Structure 1
Amino acid sequence: MTDTAATPTTLPRETQRLDWARHATHDADLGLARASADAGFRSYWRTTGTEPSRIVMDSPPDKEDVKPWLRIRALLEGNGVRVPHLLAEDTEHGFLLLEDLGPDTYLHVLHADNADALFDDAITQLLRIQATPIPEGMPVYDEALLLRELRLFDEWFLGKHLAIVPDVHDEQTLERVHRVLIDAALAQPQVFVHRDFMPRNLMPAADGPAVLDFQDAVKGPIAYDPLCLFKDAFVSWPQARIDAWLDRYHARAVDAGLPVPPLERFRRDVDLIGVHRHLKVIGIFARLHHRDNKQHYLEDAPRFFAYLDHVLPKYPELAPLAELIERRVKPTLVEYAHWTDGTGDE
C-alpha cells in the first residue's frame, strides 16, 4: 500500500477521481465505470482497461470523511475479519484503491437453498467482529444515540412523510416506547457492533464473506448485528428460518465465549432491538426520500411494518406503539398510496 500524490481540488470531482486512479495504478490509460453507490455520499468505481480490475472508493472529504472507515477496517482486519484489501489511499482528498471483489453482494446470490451455508459463513465473520477489542474513545450506543435514532421515525416518517402531527397522547406513547426500547438496549451485553451487518454489506469471497460499510461501528448491544443479518432491509425470510438462524448464532456465540445471555433472554433482546432498528430504518428511508432525493428506499418500508406486526403483539409494553400504528399510521399510509399511485387527483 502506498500514499499517492496530491490531487488538485480545483478540478471537477470526476476528473480528480480519474487522475488519482491512474496515478495510483500507474496506468495512464485506465478508465472508470460506476460500480455502485450507497445511501451516504460515497460512490464506488471499477477500473476498466486493465487486469485485474480494482475498485476506487470516492468519499468526498466535505461530506464523508474516509478516515473512520480506515480506522475501523484496521481494527477488524487485526482481529481476523475479512475486509477489502487496501491497495492505496489518499485521505486528504477521499480516495481509496481497493481489491475488486466482483459485482455481487450476498443480496444478489442468497436464495432458499444456499442461505444456511452462506449465513453460517456470515456468522463466522460476525463472531470475529463482536470479539474485536474495543479501542479507547470508540463511539458508544448510549442513550443519546439510541434516542436520536428513534426520533428519525417521529420526525421524518410520521412528520415529514405522512404529515402526521402527534397529539399529546401520541407524544406520550412515543416517549414511553422510547424508554422501553432504550432501557432494553442498554441492559444488553455490550460488544463491537457493525451497525449495518446485512446481506448488501457482505461480499462473497473464498475466505469470507468480506465485510463492507463498517465505518459507523460502535460499542453496543450484542443482539443488534444478528438482528440486522436475518431481518434485512431488502429481503424477507420465513420466521421459522430466522428463528433457526438466530438459535444457530446463539449456540456459536456461546462456544466462542461471547457474552450472550441465555437463549430466551437473547430472543427477547433480538425482538426489542429489532423494533428500535425497524423504526430507525423507516425514518432513514423517509429522510433519504425527502432530503436526498433517493426515492426507491421507501419502497421497502412495508417490510419493516411487517416485522413490527410480528413482534409488537408479543410485548404488552409495546402495545401503545401497535395501537398508534393501527390508528394513525396505517390509515395515512393507505391514503398516501392513493395519492402517489396515480389514482388520486393530485
Structure 2
Amino acid sequence: MPRQTDNRLLELSRWCADELNLVAGHPIQKNLEAVSGDASYRRYFRAHSDEPAQMSDAKTWIAVDAPPEHEDCRPFVAIANSWQRQGLRTPGVLSVDYGRGYMLLEDFGNEVLQFSLDDKTVSHFYDKALADLRLLQQTRIPDEYPLPAYDSAMLRREMELFPEWCLKQLLGMTIGQPEQALLDALSEHLVVSALEQPQVPVHRDYHSRNLMVLPEGLGIIDFQGAVLGPATYDLASLLRDCYIDWPQTQVYQWLDDFRARSDVLSGYDAATVRRWFDWIGAQRHIKVLGIFARLWLRDGKPDYLKDVPRVFAYLLWVCDHYPVLAGQADWLRSEVQPRLAQQTWWQDYRLTDE
C-alpha cells in the first residue's frame, strides 16, 4: 500500500479520536476498521468506542476519507443536513474537516437494502423507498449548495463514457461514422426526453446499495452527487437497479403506482411517463457500462464486471421496445454483444416479463 495512503489513514484515526472526544466525549479504539470503498476515491472506516458497551449509547461511528484533490465534502454535508431537516433519514454529521477531506458520521450499520430483498420482502421495502423518493422530489434546494443542473452537457458527457471505455478500451472496437451516427442519434433522443421531464432534486444513485435498513425505516447514503434533473431518474435507478432486477411487469406496476401518487408526475399520462422512465434508464445504463469498464481498466476494480450483463440487458430491453431505436438495438445485438460474450467474466442475461 502506498505510504501516502497509510499516512492519511493514520491522520484520519488521530482526527477521529480528537473529534469524538470533543463532540461526543467518547474515546475510541486505536485502529479504524475498514468498512468499504466505493466507485470513487472515498474510503469508509468504522470507529469503535473504547468504553465498555454498557457505558456508551453510541458505540460506533463512520469515518470518511475523501481526499480533497479528488472529492469535496461540502455537497455531502449541505445535502445531508438539508434533507434531514425535511424528513429524510440521512447520516448525522458529527464533524467535518473540509481542508483535509475528513468526515465523522452517524453509523447506519451494515444492513444494505440489496441483501434484504427477496420476493417476499421487496414490496415492503420498495413501498418505503418510493415513499421516501416522493418526499425527496419535494425537498427544497439547500441554500448553502444549489444543486447543479443535470443539463444537456452533463447528460451527454456521461454517455460518452460508453464508447470510450466500454467499446474502444474494453472491447477494442473501432467507432466509425455509421456507429457514431447511431450513438449520436441515441444520445439525442435520450437527452431531449430527459429535459422535457419535470426537473426535481435527484439523488443520482438511488438504488439498493445506497439504502440502509434501519429500525425506523430506510437510511439514504452516497447522495453527494445530487442534481436538479429528470423526475424519473431516481425511479430508474431503483426499479432498474444495476445490482438486482425484478420482472418488468412488476417494474411498470411500481412505476404506474408512483406516478399516480406523485405530485410531480400525476398530471402526465402513463405512456409518457413510461417512455421518460425507459429512456432515462437507458441514459443511466449507457453511462454505467462506461463507468464499470473504467473501474476495471483504470482503477483495477473487477467486482463491477459481473453486473455488466444485467446493465446491458436493460439497455437492450429499452431499444427493443421502441421502434425509433431499432437500429441501435440491431447494432448492440449484432456487434457489441458478441464482443462482450468473448470476455471471460461474461454471462448471458435476460430480463423477464413475469
Same fold (TM > 0.5): yes
Q: Aligned AA for 2:76?
A: W
Q: Secondary structure, in 3 states, of the residue corresponding to 1:54?
A: strand
- Written as runs of structure 1 = structure 2, the 5 A alignment for 1:176-195 is 176-195=185-204
Determine the C-alpha separation between the residues in 1 that align with 2:107 and 2:214.
Answer: 11
- Written as runs of structure 1 = structure 2, the 5 A alignment for 1:114-263 is 114-134=121-141, 137-253=146-262, 257-260=263-266, 261-263=268-270
Question: Contact 2:28/2:48 (CA < 8 Å) preserved in 1?
Answer: no
Q: 1:54 Cα shift? A: 1.1
Determine the C-alpha separation between the residues in 1 that align with 2:6 and 2:156.
Answer: 41
Question: Contact 1:125/1:208 (CA < 8 Å) preserved in 2?
Answer: no
Q: 1:298 Cα shift? A: 1.5
Q: 1:242 Cα shift? A: 1.3
Q: Secondary structure, in 3 states, of the residue corresponding to 1:337?
A: coil
Q: In terms of mean alpha carbon deviation, does 306-315 or 179-188 score higher?
A: 306-315
Corresponding position: 1:329 with 2:329: no
Question: Contact 2:165/2:291 (CA < 8 Å) preserved in 1?
Answer: yes
Q: Aligned AA for 1:234?
A: Y
**Pair 259,133 (structure 1): closer, same or farther in 2 beyond 3 Å:** farther
Corresponding position: 1:113 with 2:112: no
Root mean square deviation, CA, Å: 2.0
Q: 1:105 Cα shift? A: 0.9
**Pair 227,31 (structure 1): closer, same or farther in 2 beyond 3 Å:** same
Determine the C-alpha separation between the residues in 2 that align with 1:11 and 1:43.
Answer: 12
**Count of paired positions:** 329
Unmatched tracts of structure 1, length 5 or more? 1-8, 342-346
Q: In terms of mean alpha carbon deviation, does 98-107 or 21-30 score higher?
A: 21-30
Question: Contact 2:198/2:264 (CA < 8 Å) preserved in 1?
Answer: no
Unmatched tracts of structure 2, length 5 or more? 22-26, 51-55, 348-354
Q: In terms of mean alpha carbon deviation, does 140-149 or 26-35 score higher?
A: 26-35
**Pair 48,265 (structure 1): closer, same or farther in 2 beyond 3 Å:** same
Determine the C-alpha separation between the residues in 1 that align with 2:119 and 2:128.
Answer: 15
Q: 1:61 Cα shift? A: 1.1
Determine the C-alpha separation between the residues in 2 that align with 1:53 and 1:224.
Answer: 34
Determine the C-alpha separation between the residues in 2 that align with 1:113 and 1:315.
Answer: 32
Find 2:10's aligned residue among 15, 18, 21. Answer: 15
Aligned residue for 1:42? 42
Q: TM-score, normalised by structure 2?
A: 0.88
Aligned residue for 2:294? 287
- CA deviation profile, 1:35-55 (whole Å, cap 9, x unmatched): 121111111111235451111
Determine the C-alpha separation between the residues in 1 that align with 2:235 and 2:46.
Answer: 31
Question: Contact 2:94/2:105 (CA < 8 Å) preserved in 1?
Answer: yes
Aligned residue for 2:352? none
Q: In terms of mean alpha carbon deviation, does 299-308 or 21-30 score higher?
A: 21-30
- CA deviation profile, 1:68-122 (whole Å, cap 9, x unmatched): 1112212212321110111222222111111111111101211110110111111
Q: In terms of mean alpha carbon deviation, does 102-111 or 9-18 score higher?
A: 9-18
Q: TM-score, normalised by structure 1?
A: 0.90
Q: 1:134 Cα shift? A: 3.2
Q: 1:138 Cα shift? A: 2.4
Determine the C-alpha separation between the residues in 1 that align with 2:5 and 2:99.
Answer: 14
Corresponding position: 1:306 with 2:313: yes
Question: Contact 1:134/1:191 (CA < 8 Å) preserved in 2?
Answer: no
Determine the C-alpha separation between the residues in 2 that align with 1:167 and 1:53.
Answer: 54
Identity %: 37
- CA deviation profile, 1:205-263 (whole Å, cap 9, x unmatched): 2333111111111111000001111111111111122122212222221xxx2245222
